[in-house]
Structure 1
Amino acid sequence: METLIWIGAAVSLAGLAGLVLCILRVSRARRKSLPDAELRAELQKVVPLNLGALFLSVIGLMMVVIGIFLS
């Protein structure tokens, strides 16, 4: 079950990297001082990536918890 913990940690880190990518994309878009409609469009592109990264992070943490319980 130790491998499940390490795989879960890797999946969770991949989700965390996705969240950092979302933060960077939004901050870059805000720094460009785009018009409201363009900024809104850019933020709408980031939402699916953000949700996917959160899902990946949660799945990874669940794998870690299950690996700890089974150890």
Structure 2
Amino acid sequence: MDILIWSGAAVSLLGLCGLVYSIVRVARVRKAGLSDDELRAAVQAVMPINLGSLFVSVLGLMMVILGIFLG
């Protein structure tokens, strides 16, 4: 079950990197001084990346917990 734990940790880390990417991208857009509509469009473009990364991170954490329970 060690393989399940470590692969889950890697998947969770991948999701965390995606979350950090989306945070950095939105922070750059906010500093750009765009208008309200442009800012809203940019944040809406980042939202699928944010939600997908959150889903991947949760799956990784579920793999880790499953590996701990089975191991």
Quote how far apart the aligned CAs of 1:10 are. 0.1
User: Identical aligned pairs, as a percentage?
Assistant: 63
Is 1:18 matched with 2:27? no
Quote how far apart the aligned CAs of 1:14 are. 0.2
Query: What 5-or-longer segments of structure 2 have no aligned partner?
Result: none
Alignment of 1:1-71 (within 5 A): 1-71=1-71
Query: What 5-or-longer segments of structure 1 have no aligned partner?
Result: none
Please report the RMSD computed on the Cα atoms of aligned residues, expressed in angstroms.
0.3
Scaled by the length of structure 1, what TM-score is found? 0.99
Distance 1:33 1:67 in 2: 46
Quote how far apart the aligned CAs of 1:44 are. 0.3
